[in-house]
Structure 1
Amino acid sequence: MATEPDNTGHRARLRQRLFEGGPDALLDHELIEYLLALAIPRRDTKPLAKALLTEFGGIAGLLTADAEALARVPGMGETSVAALKAAHAAALRLLRDQVAARPVLANWQALLDYLRAEMAHHAIERVRVLHLNGRNMLIRDELMNEGSLDEAPVYVREVIRRAIDLGSAAIILVHNHPSGDPSPSRADIEITRQVAEAGKRLGIAVHDHIILGAEGHTSLRAQGLI
């Protein structure tokens, strides 16, 4: 008969705490430890969990890290990387479903929660465009471009053409600042105004441009910059 790993009892206790206490019952490293244990059942995963959280600056940075970065950590194999990415994907789908269930402008906090989980901790700059119908319901959430540590190009013509293709009544521009500081640059402000002006001619509203970073977010609409 196969010998049970020495930490079977410890994992059972973690599992019981999770069942009885819900999502806040486990510390971050315990949650990651248990998740990794499902992928690597015959290994003590606590040291690896702690190393991952240190490497990526916490659970948010860890779950949003790309697969290649995770695989470079000693002890991480394909199965354990997949376990972490599956957990992240499940969380994003839950948050995205909450956004899609109601008009976006009446559900702003849910939108911010989703966007922070999706974009705030990426190591490169990425641009998304959220397309809304006439009732401000989300009809498409698309990654438009990605670039470097400090720049991802936004092309006005591409944004507007895609909005026309989808029949969008309005759009929300979104991008992240890998530096962590969500303050808008002059280029961010200028491209937002260009997209808004081009959209206005065609009856496509730009509701906002949201910039995300590890330190928070900035709404150009709230700042009076649109």
Structure 2
Amino acid sequence: MGITNKSNAHLDGHRERLRERFLRAGADGLADHELLELWLFGVIKRQDTKVLARNLITQFGGINEVLQAPLHDLLRVDGVGQVAAIHLKSIHAIQVRGSQSEIMNKPVLGSWSSVLSYLKLNLGGAKREEFRVLFLDKKLRLIVDEKMGEGTVDHAPVYPREIARRALELSASSVILAHNHPSGDPTPSSADIAMTREIINALSPLKVTVIDHIIVGSQDTRSLKAFGLI
């Protein structure tokens, strides 16, 4: 019993010191693993979360990657239960919703950096390829962002006719295409270029413009328009 109390006292003291450092210096005063550990305090009450926070960042590669990791991958980490995993995913969901609010009800071309930030948050950590389409109205405002394909680590099936059908349903005037490369390298492949051209050809008769196709890597994005491919 004495050992348990001593252990608890040490744990409480460590947590209090970390909280005090945050109060004094803010988030900039903490390393990534310490910031993650601070958050874990509220979810995991009587367990040393220092090692767990370090393990999470080591395993996934960074704090953003931890938040973007699939739920089932988080649950494979020793010490992460369902409650902690759900809370981590909820943080990511809040980040994505907050980023999406930055591009709602305003022309996307006037807030292009916000669009790229939103896409990186939404797709940057995905372990499988995911193809999304941002449907825009006549004023270039976002109507909806929809997943139009999900596949393997290097391929997501995409159906241009389905994108065209959805554009008609939404009365969209233009679209932004986006997908991720789980390899981390956002360089467009020949298949990416060919698929973009197929989608352009499917939407052209409907007078729906493809503004750009953004490929999201682990750290950066690439624009097919910037490459002169649109």
Distance 1:85 1:40 in 2: 15
Note if 1:123 corresponds to 2:127. Answer: yes
Distance 1:91 1:23 in 2: 17
Aligned to 2:13: 9
Deviation string, structure 1 residues 29-58 (Cα, Å, up to 9, x no partner) = 011111111111111101000001000011
AA matched with 2:106:
R
AA matched with 2:27:
P
Note if 1:67 corresponds to 2:71. Answer: yes
Note if 1:185 corresponds to 2:189. Answer: yes
Alignment of 1:15-26 (within 5 A): 15-26=19-30
Moved more, 123-132 or 79-88: 79-88
Q: Secondary structure at the match of 2:102?
A: helix
Distance 2:18 2:102 in 1: 29
Note if 1:52 corresponds to 2:56. Answer: yes
Distance change >3 Å, CA 86–CA 132, structure 1 → 2: same
Distance 1:44 1:209 in 2: 45
Aligned to 2:168: 164
Distance 2:90 2:51 in 1: 21
Match of 1:97 among 101, 111, 114: 101
Note if 1:141 corresponds to 2:166. Answer: no
Shift of 1:13: 3.3
Distance 2:200 2:130 in 1: 19
Q: Secondary structure at the match of 2:131?
A: strand
In the superposition, the TM-score normalised over structure 1's length comes to: 0.94
Tell me how many residue pairs correspond in the alignment: 224
Distance 2:21 2:171 in 1: 49
Distance change >3 Å, CA 48–CA 220, structure 1 → 2: same
Alignment of 1:37-48 (within 5 A): 37-48=41-52
Shift of 1:215: 4.0
Distance 1:61 1:152 in 2: 21
Aligned to 2:114: 110
Aligned to 1:154: 158
Deviation string, structure 1 residues 111-161 (Cα, Å, up to 9, x no partner) = 111111111121110000001111111110111111001000111100110
Deviation string, structure 1 residues 78-99 (Cα, Å, up to 9, x no partner) = 1111121111111111111112
Contact 1:35–1:84 under 8 Å retained in 2? no
In the superposition, the TM-score normalised over structure 2's length comes to: 0.92
Distance change >3 Å, CA 90–CA 24, structure 1 → 2: farther
Q: Which consecutive residues of structure 2, in runs of 5 or more, have no partner in the other structure?
A: none
Distance change >3 Å, CA 19–CA 90, structure 1 → 2: farther
Distance change >3 Å, CA 125–CA 103, structure 1 → 2: same
Deviation string, structure 1 residues 173-202 (Cα, Å, up to 9, x no partner) = 100001111111111111111211221211
Q: Secondary structure at the match of 1:221?
A: coil
AA matched with 1:128:
R
Distance 1:162 1:9 in 2: 56
Shift of 1:20: 4.5
AA matched with 1:166:
L
AA matched with 1:180:
G
Distance 2:50 2:106 in 1: 40
Distance change >3 Å, CA 101–CA 16, structure 1 → 2: farther
